[in-house]
Amino acid sequence: MSVVQHHVGRPVSDTKAPDVALERRWDERRFTAKLVNPANRRRHRVIVVGTGLAGASAGATLAEQGYHVVQLCFQDSPRRAHSVAAQGGINAAKNYRNDGDSVHRLFYDTVKGGDFRSRESNVYRLAEISTQIIDQAVAQGVPFAREYGGLLDTRSFGGVQVQRTFYARGQTGQQLLLGAYQALSRQIDAGRVEMHARTEMLDLIVVDGRARGIIARNLVTGQITTHVADAVVLATGGYGNVFYLSTNAKGSNASAIWRAHRRGAYFANPCFTQIHPTCIPRSGVHQSKLTLMSESLRNDGRIWVPKVQGDTRSPDQIPMDERDYYLERMYPSFGNLVPRDIASRAAKNQCDAGFGVGPGGLGVYLDFGDAIQELGRPAIEARYGNLFDMYQRITAEDPYQVPMRIYPAIHYTMGGLWVDYDLQSTVPGLFVIGEANFSDHGANRLGASALMQGLADGYFVVPTTINDYIGSNTFDAVPAAHPTVQQTQRDGQARLERLLSIGGTRTVDSFHRELGLLLWDHCGMSRNESGLREALERVPELRADFWHSVRVPGEGAELNQELEKANRVADFLELAELMLVDALVREESCGGHFREEHQTAAGEALRDDARFSHVAVWEHGDRPVLHREELTFDHVRPTQRSYT
């Protein structure tokens, strides 16, 4: 294959951000956005898919505003969405420390951290809203860490030099999610949210070019149901599980956004995936998922490898001067707190060069020896106790005595459905929030920013902008007998029946593992043209093989976990191809997208702003169509990122 399998379409642009000073844009948009009379809101139904931070906060807020909300999650309870697993913290420009933080600095850090591939308008709004999120969470009873005076404690995180990260031990995501879940529970009890747990979206219903509902499967009975509404909000998270092994929950999937993409929603920057530097290395071929150790550990832990390749001595037998604290050596001003993409790649380079430790040499040390000596074990226990326990449970090694071993793993996807400033996709009436959209993190997300974005989108942005959409449009009733509704339902049913009828010889997991390995090797921490082309030939073959020889036992009208998985993997097999095409077309390195052909002499990512200062926005078709959204930087001057 010598030419790229895609077409080029017309550029797209964000027409919703007001053309006023950066600081006034959100204020202006809130003023220009149409309002919906509170008495009329209950006549409008809004579907929210997903109950993570973005979905739960959006559902609770829309219901509180008076909309009739229909909400779904595939888990048995909305409290289990994978936001629950976020450990480290949430950023906010409160400047409680008086250490020079400000909205502008958080904005600047996020744009820079994203390697200048995000939209200034969106990121500024995120920074602006960040302070209100903390207020909201505290009012809900989220038990953040506090100082003895009763005020909130903060800590620092990768990629920044101020202490703006609020936290609740190592369970910040859980506590923020429970806050949102409880707010949602209050609305469920009030009858304003119709909650469907163990229910998975199968497809989007698009009538006259607008999103008017979804079809879904009750995962217990297998019944396929239709839900019609005036607007649909997808809060279904990222697609990191396309790699099979990731830090995502086993059920996390891309089906909602991928089905929406096939129905007309453009997909932005699919190749922008984040590899998290501090995960527990895999222990064998049986591995079913990877576990992250919060990046906050890098505040007190020091990362090193032996100076000699293949050194098999136990770490306590390696004297100080025979250790290479390579991050501190290479990046003296940020040290162990460089952004995730840089820390991950540095670890990979050390291991590739033979300095890695542990089984297969796929690990580096994260050592708390100095911190324990300096601060005492109780202080370290108070900060990271649960993380140390988790590490010990999984590896059977005591990190108070022996340095942790860590290795990078797929953690987050910056890419997602394209949205404008209103968080509306290219399908009118379809809004996309949280990790499911592409909006705020550019080519690399800073730590403690995912929680911030999910809650900003859900509590503050979409409840405002959806009013404008609903207030500006009229909505004729869409009856269940509408031909489009009927057809969408038949399509979904037919696909499940086809999966059940193949009756092949290979399990769903075996295909998923093979796909994941292929992507990890060719579209993971570093990518090159020949590898991407090779994978681009292999993925369609694997997909064909899947549809020919997968084995899905059981029936459709029952709890059938293999059918659920098969339906998700079928979508991953399509999404993977778009990721590869996107990675191939972006002939530059930026953030988490590292093309080996494009690096500085020091091995750092080398951007090409002249050709690639844009969002790659893909339209679905027999061959994907590339639309570009040019990025303009009026307030932050793109520079070669430097953390030395």
Catalytic residues: 340
CA-based angle 278:369:403, to the nearest 5? 45
State yes or no: residue 143 binds another protein (CB under 8 A): yes
CA distance 150 to 291: 33
State yes or no: residue 78 binds another protein (CB under 8 A): yes
Enter the tokens of residue 633.
């930087």
Of 8, 35, 139, 308, the residue at the interface with another protein (CB under 8 A) is 139
Strands 267-268 vs 416-417: parallel, antiparallel or unpaired = antiparallel
Nearest to residue 521, comparing CAs of 510, 536, 532? Answer: 532
Q: Show the site string, 249-268: x = touches another protein by CB under 8 A, - = not.
A: xxx-----------------
Enter the tokens of residue 556.
């459709």
State yes or no: residue 505 binds another protein (CB under 8 A): yes
State the number of CA atoms in the 13 A half-sphere of 304 facing the CB. Answer: 23
Of 48, 60, 417, 583, the residue at the interface with another protein (CB under 8 A) is 60
Nearest distance from residue 152's CB to another protein, in Å?
A: 6
Closer CB to another protein, 349 or 464, in the complex = 464
Count of positions on this chain that bind another protein (CB under 8 A): 79
State yes or no: residue 21 binds another protein (CB under 8 A): no
Strands 231-234 vs 45-49: parallel, antiparallel or unpaired = parallel
State yes or no: residue 149 binds another protein (CB under 8 A): yes
CB atoms within 10 A of CB 263: 17
Of 288, 309, 333, 644, the residue at the interface with another protein (CB under 8 A) is 288
| Stretch of residues binding another protein (CB under 8 A), selected from 4-12, 58-66, 199-207, 439-447 | 58-66
Phi, psi of 157 (to 5 degrees): -140, 170
State yes or no: residue 145 binds another protein (CB under 8 A): yes
State yes or no: residue 85 binds another protein (CB under 8 A): yes
> Please, what is the end-to-end C-alpha distance for the chain in angstroms?
41
State yes or no: residue 554 binds another protein (CB under 8 A): yes
State yes or no: residue 493 binds another protein (CB under 8 A): no
Residues 6 or more apart whose CB falls under 8 angstroms from that of 317 comprise: none
Q: In what order do the strands lie in the sheet with 430-432?
A: 193-196, 68-72, 45-49, 231-234, 430-432
CA distance 514 to 549: 14
- Interaction residues for another protein, span 556-595 (CB under 8 A): 558-559, 561-562
SS3 assignment, position 532: helix
Of 35, 308, 353, 394, the residue at the interface with another protein (CB under 8 A) is 394
Enter the tokens of residue 151.
């005020």
State yes or no: residue 403 binds another protein (CB under 8 A): no
Of 94, 383, 445, 607, the residue at the interface with another protein (CB under 8 A) is 94
State yes or no: residue 483 binds another protein (CB under 8 A): no
Nearest distance from residue 251's CB to another protein, in Å?
A: 5
Of 331, 431, 459, 618, the residue at the interface with another protein (CB under 8 A) is 459
Q: What does the CA dihedral 79, 183, 247, 420 come to, rounded to 10 degrees?
A: 140
State yes or no: residue 69 binds another protein (CB under 8 A): no
State yes or no: residue 517 binds another protein (CB under 8 A): no
CA distance 133 to 456: 7
Nearest distance from residue 189's CB to another protein, in Å?
A: 4
| Stretch of residues binding another protein (CB under 8 A), selected from 5-13, 20-28, 166-174, 588-596 | 166-174
Closer CB to another protein, 248 or 269, in the complex = 248
State yes or no: residue 163 binds another protein (CB under 8 A): no
Closer CB to another protein, 81 or 275, in the complex = 81
Amino acid at position 52, single letter: G
State yes or no: residue 79 binds another protein (CB under 8 A): yes
CB atoms within 10 A of CB 457: 33
Residues 6 or more apart whose CB falls under 8 angstroms from that of 506 comprise: 545, 549, 550, 551
Beta bridge partners of 4: none
State yes or no: residue 637 binds another protein (CB under 8 A): no
Q: Is 349 exposed, middle or buried (0-12, 13-18, 19+ CB in 10 A)?
A: middle
Which H or E element spans position 48?
strand 45-49
- Interaction residues for another protein, span 460-479 (CB under 8 A): 460, 463
State yes or no: residue 175 binds another protein (CB under 8 A): yes
State yes or no: residue 38 binds another protein (CB under 8 A): no
Of 29, 44, 53, 57, the residue at the interface with another protein (CB under 8 A) is 57
Of 38, 100, 150, 479, the residue at the interface with another protein (CB under 8 A) is 150
Nearest to residue 239, comparing CAs of 639, 575, 615? Answer: 575
State yes or no: residue 135 binds another protein (CB under 8 A): yes
**47 in Cβ contact with 215 (< 8 Å):** no
Nearest distance from residue 578's CB to another protein, in Å?
A: 26
Of 25, 36, 61, 72, the residue at the interface with another protein (CB under 8 A) is 61
| Stretch of residues binding another protein (CB under 8 A), selected from 22-30, 73-81, 199-207, 336-344 | 73-81
Amino acid at position 622, single letter: D
| Stretch of residues binding another protein (CB under 8 A), selected from 284-292, 346-354, 371-379, 473-481 | 284-292
Of 321, 393, 632, 634, the residue at the interface with another protein (CB under 8 A) is 393
Nearest distance from residue 75's CB to another protein, in Å?
A: 6
Residues 6 or more apart whose CB falls under 8 angstroms from that of 57 comprise: 180, 183, 454, 455, 457, 458, 459
Say how far residue 417 (Cα) sits from the centre of its chain.
Answer: 12
CA distance 305 to 212: 55
Nearest distance from residue 393's CB to another protein, in Å?
A: 5
For CA atoms 401, 369, 162, 436, the dihedral sign is: negative
Nearest distance from residue 248's CB to another protein, in Å?
A: 9
Of 103, 188, 275, 346, the residue at the interface with another protein (CB under 8 A) is 188
